[in-house]
Amino acid sequence: MVVLALFRSASPASRCISARGRNCAALQATLCGRRLHGRASAHHEIRLENIRNIGIIAHVDAGKTTTTERMLYYSGVTQRVGGMYPPAQQAAASHETYARQDVDSGNTVTDFLELERERGITIQSAAITFNWPLPADCPPGTHPKTVNLIDTPGHQDFRFEVDRCLPILDGAVCIIDSVKGVEAHTERVWASAHEFRIPRIVYCNKLDREGASFKRAVLEIGTRLKGWPLVCQIPWWDKEDFVGVIDIIDGVGYRWKTERQKTRYGPDELQATLSSSNQSLLDEVRLARQRLIEGLADFDDAVMDEFLAENPDIPGSLLKQGIRRAIQSGDGHVIPVFAGSSFRHIGVEPLMDAITQYLPNPSERPDVEVRVGAAKHQLEKLLNDKDKKGGRGNVASVASVFKVFNHPKEGVISFVRVYHGTLTRNASSFNTNLSVQERPMGILQISASKVEDVQDLCVGQIGALRGLKQARSGDTLITTTNGKPVVENLRHVQIRPPEIPPPVAFLQVDPYGNVAAQQLQVALQNASREDPSLRWSRNPKTEQFTIQGMGKLHLDVSLYNMRQKHKIDAEFGQIEVDYKECVTTPTQPQYTVFDRPIASKPGKAACTVVLEPIEEHEHEGLVESSIERDGNIFQIEIPLLGDPAALAFDVEEARHQLLNGAIAGLARGPRRASPIHKCRVKISLDTSDGALESPTGGHFSSVARAAVQSALRDAFDKNQIGMLEPIMLAHITCPEAAAGTVQHDITAGAGGPILEVKDRSAESTGDELIDASRIYAPPDPYESVTSLRGKRSTTRMVEIVAKVPYKEMLDYDDHLRSKTAGRHSMTMSFDSFARVVGHREKGF
């Protein structure tokens, strides 16, 4: 899920943002303005308070990309819906053809990869910048806001991409399909945004579709997202047709005929229109405003004061300020709700207004959390603490790499967000994760496929560095003044390092010849830099490559990209489940001596290794005192006999090399060459007289690897090697009529336990914090009318939650589609590795 194509400020003056400290905001803005030239004088100065770094999150096919395309159209970034025609087609295309062009035709700006257009889904995160409101619509003395908007993937296989983007955001729009309601993956990405305390608003999309229910969507927002929904807009229905939205805060109505034919009704006009044509809707507008005030009063003191004073006419400006304050902490207790149909253009412009009015700017967000080892700190506090000791003065900037991408024109570029100081062009950066120094070849700001060079990036800004050779997603970069070395206490600072789940699927690739093998290795090195959740290894004996990923679609996309870019001549195997091997009982101590020259340097090292299985209850306690890598725990003991200064080797270097050797020894198990998992490795280096003779780092790593492999072979000979398989937590939502078939498939065919079967109707869902009976939601127009729309909306859906072996779920989605006529959704997330037992183990 990935290009995080970066944000390009529409105004060059926006390239520099003031520092977080409010007292230096004006000074830094002035200095940044002096560094800019060209078009800068023709645009207003963009200050930090006018920036919005916003993400779009949702379940797959909720309408994220369609909504983004409408925003680009209305803000003037694109001249027609769905993006631009190829130049050769522009002259021949008629106005009528333009009107038919849309997201589903595969001509969008944000989904600009061929595979995205072929499949009609968002695979990569795409980011683009636009200004809103339009300058002509800004009140006197105000300027448009610069919105940096990220359209993220919704498919479960690409959830890692969403989680990688979320930490850099200052706000988010969660889009819900009003036909399907709050789906399982929506709850997951909502929980991820909640973890990073990102302020959010919700947009109920697709209200024009059969079966859509704004009432049900609002109820599910409260009960499933566990927050209090504040209905800020209600749908405008003309009988059963969805024609517009009504802003209940200002009492303004918007009615659409086409994308450009929109009628705005002021409060008096709206009242006159509805009084003669739809009195019940006018009554609902008044009720909705009163219920919003009642709900908001519980979370904002200023609104509560007006409510208790029984003010009959609380101004809309006060309510908007109250909503902004209520969601700013990102705790999700209050959820503003908006309505629309992006495909029919209804509600998109009011949603853009809501983004600029309610979501915060970078200066209103808390200081970023960083890690130094296992300890967590606030970045500015950490830097200030070091400053008191005289150690901070040389830090010029701190930035986080949140995406590495091989751009078709610029080559490999690294997307960053700056959290402290100013990152200048060609400044040498220290990578705190890899402990290497790199100098970029320039700074870019990118809007989908468009690229622009800039001189620097200031606090709160996002840009891309060209030419970094080693930076990976999740790395932290520090630049210093005058190129001075980074002080020791800051050399291991990391900004929210990504937590990468283990792979669950793999395939093997056999390249045809040495040239193809080298091409494939380069392609995999680049791909794993771009996407750390993609792993690979190469068998030195067979020259066969193994590629591991987060699921079938994840590997399909990764292979497609590599084939398109590198034209690799190789045989690609079938995608299979990524099994692991494990030791079932503790092994006998294996004493191993390695006494051979390495790189023409003689040496000798010896150690003892014991392998033990890790029980679940032991894991936490072992991690605190040991080293964990790839699901295994390593304990390395180096007895110091006599004076440590008299040792002929560096103890820490020896410990590091022993760890590397042990990790390599567990990479391929003896049963089916799968990695070893859930293993505790105890290594004791023999430091007695005669055991060590001029050892190099290679001797330490080689003896550890040989000892681990010897212990594994001994365990295999004694039938002490078991198999582990990935178990997925599956959420399957389907019509009640198909629920019996699904449960039978899971229990009888897949052998997985059913954890829960629950009714997905909003009224049936309860929560200890949210009482669904108290939530305000306007009635749908067809509730009392028997119609096709009403019948479809009452189809009872159930959600089945189960733990299922991934092998049984590889192609289950296609099977389920035939049982439900496509009226289902299924999401899976990795849960754990479990031992393969019984008849299923005989296949190994």
DSSP string, 291-353: HHHHHHHTT-HHHHHHHHTT-S---HHHHHHHHHHHHTT---SEEEEEE-BGGGTBTHHHHHH
* Same domain as 351, residue 214: yes
Q: Is the pLDDT of residue 556 over 50?
A: yes
User: Which of 782 and 158 is assigned the larger pLDDT?
Assistant: 782
Q: For the chain, what is the radius of gyration of the CA atoms?
A: 29
What is the CATH number for 553?
3.30.70.870
- Domain boundary residue among 702, 719, 736? 719
List of residues 6+ apart from 288 with CB closer than 8 A: 231, 234, 248, 776, 778
Which run of H or of E encompasses 566? helix 552-566
What is the CATH number for 653?
3.30.230.10
**Overall number of domains in the chain:** 5
SS3 call for 809: helix
pLDDT value of residue 228: 94
Q: How confident is the model at residue 353 (pLDDT cuts 50, 70, 90)?
A: very high
pLDDT value of residue 111: 40
* Same domain as 180, residue 87: yes
Measured distance CA(420)–CA(545) in Å, rounded: 41
| Angle formed by the axes of helices 736-744 and 812-820, nearest 10° | 150
Which pLDDT tens digit goes with each residue over 130-174?
889 998 888 888 888 888 887 665 445 555 666 677 888 899 999
Residue 27 inside a domain? The answer is no
pLDDT value of residue 325: 96
End-to-end CA distance of the chain: 33
Q: Is the pLDDT of residue 233 over 70?
A: yes
Residue 232 inside a domain? The answer is yes
* Same domain as 552, residue 457: no
Full domain range(s) for residue 547:
505-577
Instruction: Retrieve residue 82's tokens.
Output: 């769905």
| Angle formed by the axes of helices 316-327 and 348-358, nearest 10° | 70
Give percent of the chain above pLDDT 90.
35
SS3 call for 174: strand
* Same domain as 512, residue 474: no
E-assigned strand segments in 354-394: 369-372, 375-378
For residues 472-481, average pLDDT: 88
Which run of H or of E encompasses 709? helix 697-717
pLDDT value of residue 788: 42
Measured distance CA(130)–CA(148) in Å, rounded: 7
Q: Is the pLDDT of residue 82 over 70?
A: no
SS3 call for 159: helix
Which pLDDT tens digit goes with each residue over 679-738?
999 999 998 888 899 899 999 999 999 999 999 999 999 999 999 999 988 888 888 888
Instruction: Retrieve residue 264's tokens.
Output: 């705005």
> How would you list the strands of the sheet with 241-247, edge to edge?
233-238, 241-247, 252-256, 262-265
Which pLDDT tens digit goes with each residue over 403-439?
887 777 888 888 888 899 999 988 899 999 888 899 9
- Domain boundary residue among 719, 741, 757? 719
Measured distance CA(339)–CA(79) in Å, rounded: 25
Instruction: Retrieve residue 40's tokens.
Output: 């800068």
pLDDT value of residue 710: 96
Phi, psi of 249 (to 5 degrees): -70, -50
Residue 31 inside a domain? The answer is no
- Mean pLDDT, the chain, as a whole number? 80
Q: How confident is the model at residue 799 (pLDDT cuts 50, 70, 90)?
A: confident
pLDDT value of residue 670: 95
* Residue 62, Ramachandran bin (φ over 0: left; ψ between -120 and 50: alpha; else beta): alpha
Residue 112 inside a domain? The answer is yes
What distance lies between CA 691 and its chain's CA centroid? 50
* Same domain as 559, residue 601: no
Which pLDDT tens digit goes with each residue over 558-611?
888 788 777 788 899 998 898 999 999 999 999 999 999 998 899 999 999 999
Q: Which residue has the tokens 């990795």?
A: 830
Q: How confident is the model at residue 399 (pLDDT cuts 50, 70, 90)?
A: very high
Residue 26 inside a domain? The answer is no
List of residues 6+ apart from 249 with CB closer than 8 A: 232, 289, 292, 316, 319, 320
- Domain boundary residue among 311, 337, 364? 364
pLDDT value of residue 163: 67
pLDDT value of residue 809: 83
Q: How confident is the model at residue 177 (pLDDT cuts 50, 70, 90)?
A: very high
What distance lies between CA 282 and its chain's CA centroid? 41
* Same domain as 189, residue 61: yes
Q: Which residue has the tokens 């192609």?
A: 811
Which run of H or of E encompasses 773? none
Measured distance CA(5)–CA(450) in Å, rounded: 9
Q: Is the pLDDT of residue 636 over 50?
A: yes
Measured distance CA(176)–CA(602) in Å, rounded: 66
What is the CATH number for 390?
2.40.30.10
Residue 443 inside a domain? The answer is yes
Residue 35 inside a domain? The answer is no
Show the 3-state SS of 621-677: HHHHHCEEECCEEEEEECCCCCCHHHCCCCHHHHHHHHHHHHHHHCCCCCCCCCCEC
What is the CATH number for 162?
3.40.50.300
* Same domain as 548, residue 598: no
Show the 3-state SS of 720-771: CEEEEEEEEEEEEEEEHHHHHHHHHHHHHHHCCCEEEEEECCHHHCCCCCCC
List of residues 6+ apart from 558 with CB closer than 8 A: 527, 531, 534, 547, 549
Handedness of CA 338, 341, 346, 348 (dihedral sign): positive
CB-CB neighbours of 661 under 10 Å? 27
pLDDT value of residue 449: 56
* Same domain as 146, residue 83: yes
Which pLDDT tens digit goes with each residue over 644-675?
555 678 888 898 899 999 999 999 899 988 89
For residues 455-481, average pLDDT: 88
Q: How confident is the model at residue 33 (pLDDT cuts 50, 70, 90)?
A: very low
Q: Is the pLDDT of residue 301 over 70?
A: yes
Residue 378 inside a domain? The answer is yes
Give percent of the chain above pLDDT 70.
80
pLDDT value of residue 81: 67
- DSSP assignments along 421-487, one per residue: E-EETT--EEETTTTEEE--SEEEEEETTEEEEESEE-TT-EEEEE--SS--TT-EEEEEGGGPPPP
For residues 496-506, average pLDDT: 80
* Same domain as 512, residue 562: yes
* Same domain as 145, residue 272: yes
Which run of H or of E encompasses 556? helix 552-566
For residues 76-97, average pLDDT: 45
pLDDT value of residue 811: 79
Instruction: Retrieve residue 375's tokens.
Output: 């300890």
* Same domain as 267, residue 380: no
Instruction: Retrieve residue 424's tokens.
Output: 């200048």
User: Which of 741 and 206 is assigned the larger pLDDT?
Assistant: 206
Q: Which residue has the tokens 């990688």?
A: 164
pLDDT value of residue 277: 87
Measured distance CA(36)–CA(41) in Å, rounded: 9
Q: How confident is the model at residue 451 (pLDDT cuts 50, 70, 90)?
A: confident
What is the CATH number for 831?
3.30.70.240
* Same domain as 461, residue 418: yes
Amino acid, single-letter form, for residue 609: V
